[in-house]
Each structure stands twice: as structure tokens, then as C-alpha cells.
Amino acid sequence: MTRAALLVSALMFLLAACDTGQPMRMGPDGKPMPSVYKISKAQEDRIQFRVLDSVNELREVAGVPPVQLNAQLNAAAATHARDMAVQNRPWHFGSDGSSPIDRVQRAGYSGPMLGENISETFETELETLAAWMEQPDTRNVILDSRGRNLGIAFYQEQNGKIWWTLLMGG
């Protein structure tokens, strides 16, 4: 009995240590307010693979073939993510007037560019992917059955804002 009480006390102590004492901030939509997600150097290399794995799970559920990371699409996505930050606006055209198709071709991708998803956020890659899946147009890019190649990149500003670009190629 003493051992069980000691174990319960220890668990309660550990759980109490997890409480920040701050109530979770809720937005007007009733969802928790986002907090700044700082991407560490150790996380940078894993992000593309987390997105790839998640996209392929979503594609499997939808009954479409998996995709693989493509270096040219990753390069085009990285260029655009940084360029959106420079322009300080999320949109599909580059500061030089380039379209997603132009950027993919410049990066040396020879297949068809099927779609581009972009985001300006403070959220993680998986939260951003979930937001894209909530909208029909961005969900269609992710689940395009012609997709074979994926490019994903981000650029994070000092204040924590993250510019995401996902490219789907056939």
C-alpha cells in the first residue's frame, strides 16, 4: 500500500511540474492560439521526411500512389519560401514575376508541375499540412493521383514566422 501511494504521489508531482500555470490562450474560433515554433538545426533535416511520411499516409488513405522527395522541387520550394519572406506576402508569384512553373523549370525539374501550396504561419509543418488538408484546393494538390514527386521547404524569420512551400510534380 505504501509503495502504491508513493508511486501515485510521484506521478502527481511529475504531472504538476508539467503545468505552466498559464491558461491556454484561445482564439475567437475556439481553437488554441498558436505559439511560436522555433525550428532548431537538429529539426531542419527531419522536417522534409516528416512531411513526406505524413503526405504518403494521407495519400494511402485516399488510395493514390506515394510520392518521393525530389531535389529539384525542394530547391524550387526553398527559393520561393525565402522570396515570399522578402516580399512579406504569401502568394504564388516570385518577386521577379515568376510563376511556380517557371521556378520548377529553372530548378531543372523535367516533369509536370501539378500544384503549389504556400503558407505564412507560426505553426509546425504538421499543423500546416493539416490546414492545407482542410481546404479543397490545397488538399487536391496533396492528393493529386498524378503526383510522383514532392518538394517541401521553409524559411523561418528571426521573429519565428515560417514561410512554407510545397510543390507536387508528376
Q: Is a pLDDT exceeding 80 seen at residue 71? A: yes
pTM: predicted TM-score of the whole model, two decimal places: 0.78
For residue range 103-152, list pLDDT tens digits in order: 999 999 999 999 999 999 888 999 999 999 999 999 999 999 999 999 99
Q: Which of the 8 DSSP states describes residue 115?
A: E
* Residue % of the chain over a pLDDT of 70: 84
State the greatest distance between any 2 C-alpha atoms of the chain, in Å, as a whole number. 73
The pairing of strands 149-156 and 162-169 is: antiparallel
